[in-house]
Structure 1
Amino acid sequence: MRIIERDKAFYKSMFAIALPITLQNLITSSLNMIDTLMITSLGEGSIAAVGLANQFFFFYALIAFGINSGSSIFIAQFWGKKDTDNIKKVLGLAIILCGGVGVIFTAVALFKPEYIMMFFTKEADVVRLGSDYLRIVSLSYIITGISFAFSVALRSIEQAKTPMVVSGISFVTNTVFNYLLIFGKFGFPELGIKGAAYGTLIARIVEIIFILYAIYSDKGPLAGSLKELTNWNKEFVFKYFKTTYPVIVNETFWSLGNVMYSVAYAKIGKEATAAVQIANTIQNIFLVISRGLANACTVMVGNKIGANEEKEAYSYAVKYLFIATTSGLFLGVILYLTSGFTLKAFNGLTDELFHTSKKMLAVMAIYLIAKMFNGTLIVGVLRGGGDTTFSMLLEMGSVWLVGVPLAFLGALVFKLPVYYVMAIVSLEEVVKATIGLPRVISKKWIRNVT
């Protein structure tokens, strides 16, 4: 009877946290899909330009994710102790770090966008279009980083519904302004790819206004004053960085590795880049459950460790990994079977681009089970347990020692089609799972950082 009660408590908490996060990610991924659908009508050059330009944002977003993922370890464990004073201090550090990194990325994208685009491709039309997009969308980077810090903190204190609602508002705003400004509807100027950038910027401004209002209007646990958010001493900051720096380094170099994948794919040609953008957009819809599970796992495992219930933390980890694996198998089959039908929604695709994208989706479907397992393993179990150094070494090693070399060998040496290159690159997921599973079983990842 006690076991049944514990299981009920587990699933109740899991759905309460994972469902809003999954819906929030679904909203975000749907937004990216609508963006791509709208831009598809502008041609392969525009699809490739937005895809490559967003790799720069992806690099920044993953660094911000690393900062906030590291912070969420502390916030989740402090929430287990109901220590709101220290939660506000951690949130303040996350905001400062995300904002500071955002200033750097904004400056580079605003003043030197051509250099960023030329890092990926030498095709003049793609460089020109991507530069126009970057100059505008870069103004949203700092806002996005700060908004992200508040959203992750809300999830970590089991208030995932607010970020979900705010993402819904952002989704509607972005979709409406994209439609108005890309195509010049209802008297708005027809701006093409620049219209997509303005739509994103407007949506990010609306998003941060609503999230700040939600937090400070009810004076909840995160509604800290400037003094409360910055009330650190040297010992607190040192303790924070000792645990979070591996996560920040991990996400920085993992995202840089993924940027290098994009460079390798771009060497194959404009069509390959466009196919990667389309296939990734569709795959992200299928990965929303993975992100929901991983973030919920971080919170629940962290809460249990913070409450000194280590046996329960291990039990939770095993359950989450099983759910992630079975979900990955189920979703992989669906992705494989529906790829052709989904691609028909993208009007204007050439036959060649359609078939290339379909083959890429088949590769993604095969590896989806490993992706979902690894997402929960690294973000949920290892980081939630405070084992940030091992997770850093595991992820960085898999990307830089396996994935990146194989990407450039496939693209430049063997000159394989882009879907075969992606297939060999994805072997890094198999390596990651093979090394990570024994670590979970050893229980060495369970560490109380508070």
Structure 2
Amino acid sequence: MLSGFRKKFIGNRAFYKMVLSMTIPMILQMMVTNLVSLIDNIMVGRLGTEPMSGVSIINQFVFVFNVTVFGAVAGPSIFGAQFFGKGDHTGQKHTFRFRLLVCAAIIILAAFVCRAFGSPLISLFISKESNVEQAEHILSSGMEYLKIIIIGFIPFGIGQAYSSVTRECGNTKAPMAAAMSAVGLNILLDWCLIFGKLGFPAMGVKGAAWATVIAKTAEALVVIVWTHTNKDKNKYIIGLFRDFHIPRRLIADMTKKGIPMLVNEFLWSLGMSVVMQCYSVRSTDVVAARNISSTMTNLFNSVYVQMGACIAIIVGARLGANKLKEARDTDNKLLFFAVVSAAAVGILILPLAPLFPKLYNTEPSVRSLAAYMIVIQSLATPMWSYTNACYFTLRSGGKTGITFLFDFGFTWLIMIPLAAVLAYCTDLDIRIVFAAVTFSEIIKVAIGYFMVRSNIWINNIVDDK
């Protein structure tokens, strides 16, 4: 029995060497990016609870934009990974062009929405219990940050289009180097522009926004320059801009597969913001505490998030090469590895829960609540890792309609109603509300298990293209 378990779920040394060589640069890239956000968050947190809350609210909008961009490149990436497995560089070129066009459209739409509706959207997250002065301070801080951070949508969107295609070719070190090149710049600019060091003016939240925009621009430029100067490793880039021809049938197929993923990522991220809004009705303290806890846990959650992305690339390439049995076997081992890795990360987070909130210049009640939320999130990490891995498994085989139901359906039919009922219709302590909503993920674990076990995702979608 034990030998059967090992054969099914545990790979050999060569397997883990291959997986780690791909995932470690991806994890480091995301951790570096999240580390920048963490340091940025701590520095803004030194300004006080209201500025931190205003920036935190805007980062909910930025989160929706970022995840929507991920969704936009995800559909074409399914085809790109399988084209790469097939050795079809022309097919990759077509998927890359499609990504650039879709990302450009999302950037324009997101910038318009944020500029036109920024103030009323921020007001939705300000608790009615806040006094007038406190509410105005949060709103003004948020708007100052928003007007500048919108500029960063451009380099982020274009940079993700480039990074996604380099990763599906197994070139994960370039995006990692780009992220690392930006982290030092971002930290230095944060220190200079927020607090007025080295002769720069003290700009507060505006300084934090400008630092982020400049760092994102630098990160995108590194990936773009590397891609165009390494054509031997990126053969799809040759002749990319000679024209923007994309076969109609491939456009139709990518749209058919991609729209459910784009809509899913948008609605899922929007759903997370709705859940946050439900928490925020209790008090401004909840917004600040949630900001602190999520900043902390996001740093470590990079491990399971990128493990999922790795599953999409590795399993997708095997499906594209028609190695269907190998894809199934590889997925079993990756799923198990993802959950074990996440459990280890969750254990590492626990001792940091009471320490990390002390870095913020905020009230003791906010720090206490933030520490509690970090503990709850660390305990939920293995569940999140498993459902994330299931999502990417289904996606690798092009089952985007099912992933739509899996992600969007759970968020909007279970998680949001639960959060809304507990927050608006009961007097339960926010700690109980937060724990109940977080651990509702166990329902998604069960759904994901049966979906992956059914093998409906095992298919080659580029065999005849």
Place the TM-score, normalised by the shorter chain, in its bin.
over 0.9
Kept after mapping to 2: 8 A contact 1:332/1:366: yes
Further displaced range: 103-112 or 368-377: 103-112
Kept after mapping to 2: 8 A contact 1:378/1:391: yes
Q: Please say if 1:140 is aligned against 2:128.
A: no
1:15 matched residue in structure 2: 20
* Deviation sequence 1:199-246 (CA, Å, 0-9, x none): 011112212221111111122224244546721132110011122222
Q: Shift of residue 444 of structure 1?
A: 1.0
* Deviation sequence 1:45-89 (CA, Å, 0-9, x none): 111111110111111111111111222211110000111111011
Query: C-alpha separation between the residues in 2 aligned to 1:218 and 1:332?
Result: 38
Residue number among 248, 263, 274 corresponding to 1:249 in the alignment: 263
1:377 matched residue in structure 2: 390
Q: Please say if 1:42 is aligned against 2:39.
A: no
Kept after mapping to 2: 8 A contact 1:110/1:136: no
Q: Please say if 1:266 is aligned against 2:269.
A: no
Query: C-alpha separation between the residues in 2 aligned to 1:428 and 1:68?
Result: 29
Kept after mapping to 1: 8 A contact 2:11/2:333: no
Residue number among 179, 193, 214 corresponding to 1:167 in the alignment: 179
Kept after mapping to 1: 8 A contact 2:303/2:342: no
Residue number among 422, 447, 453 corresponding to 1:435 in the alignment: 447
* Deviation sequence 1:392-427 (CA, Å, 0-9, x none): 101111101111011111211114333322212223
Counterpart residue identity of residue 435, structure 2: A
**What is the aligned-residue identity percentage?**
28
Correspondence 1:152-301 to 2 at 5 A: 152-219=164-231, 220-227=234-241, 230-301=244-315
Counterpart residue identity of residue 115, structure 1: P
> The residue matched to 2:201 in structure 1 has which SS?
coil
Correspondence 1:381-400 to 2 at 5 A: 381-400=393-412
> The residue matched to 1:349 in structure 2 has which SS?
coil
> The residue matched to 1:308 in structure 2 has which SS?
coil
**Quick one: structure 1 residues 224 and 111, their matched pair in 2 at CA, closer, same or farther if it must change by over 3 Å?**
farther
Counterpart residue identity of residue 150, structure 1: Y
Further displaced range: 414-423 or 37-46: 414-423
Further displaced range: 230-239 or 6-15: 6-15
Kept after mapping to 1: 8 A contact 2:104/2:157: yes
Q: Shift of residue 116 of structure 1?
A: 2.6
Correspondence 1:36-75 to 2 at 5 A: 36-75=41-80
Query: C-alpha separation between the residues in 1 aligned to 2:366 and 2:180?
Result: 31
Q: Shift of residue 118 of structure 1?
A: 2.0
Q: Shift of residue 184 of structure 1?
A: 0.4
Q: Shift of residue 111 of structure 1?
A: 4.7
Residue number among 352, 377, 380 corresponding to 2:365 in the alignment: 352
Counterpart residue identity of residue 377, structure 1: C
Q: Please say if 1:121 is aligned against 2:126.
A: yes
Q: Please say if 1:367 is aligned against 2:380.
A: yes
* Deviation sequence 1:96-128 (CA, Å, 0-9, x none): 111111111112323542133123226222111
Normalised by the length of structure 2, the TM-score is 0.92
2:327 matched residue in structure 1: 313
Counterpart residue identity of residue 15, structure 1: L
Q: Shift of residue 6 of structure 1?
A: 7.5
Kept after mapping to 2: 8 A contact 1:402/1:427: no
Query: C-alpha separation between the residues in 2 aligned to 1:368 and 1:226?
Result: 40
Further displaced range: 355-364 or 219-228: 219-228
Further displaced range: 311-320 or 418-427: 418-427
Query: C-alpha separation between the residues in 2 aligned to 1:228 and 1:11?
Result: 40
2:429 matched residue in structure 1: 417
Query: C-alpha separation between the residues in 2 aligned to 1:206 and 1:280?
Result: 25
Structure 1 unpaired stretches of 5+: none
Kept after mapping to 2: 8 A contact 1:73/1:386: yes
Q: Please say if 1:335 is aligned against 2:335.
A: no
Query: C-alpha separation between the residues in 1 aligned to 2:11 and 2:408?
Result: 36
Query: C-alpha separation between the residues in 2 aligned to 1:419 and 1:180?
Result: 37
Counterpart residue identity of residue 203, structure 1: A
2:338 matched residue in structure 1: 324
Structure 2 unpaired stretches of 5+: 1-6, 128-134
Query: C-alpha separation between the residues in 2 aligned to 1:70 and 1:150?
Result: 14
Further displaced range: 215-224 or 52-61: 215-224
Query: C-alpha separation between the residues in 2 aligned to 1:318 and 1:284?
Result: 25
Kept after mapping to 2: 8 A contact 1:294/1:375: yes
Paired residues, number: 446
Normalised by the length of structure 1, the TM-score is 0.95
Query: C-alpha separation between the residues in 1 aligned to 2:75 and 2:94?
Result: 14
Kept after mapping to 2: 8 A contact 1:92/1:229: no
**Quick one: structure 1 residues 83 and 131, their matched pair in 2 at CA, closer, same or farther if it must change by over 3 Å?**
same
Query: C-alpha separation between the residues in 2 aligned to 1:229 and 1:30?
Result: 39
> The residue matched to 1:426 in structure 2 has which SS?
helix
**Quick one: structure 1 residues 29 and 227, their matched pair in 2 at CA, closer, same or farther if it must change by over 3 Å?**
closer
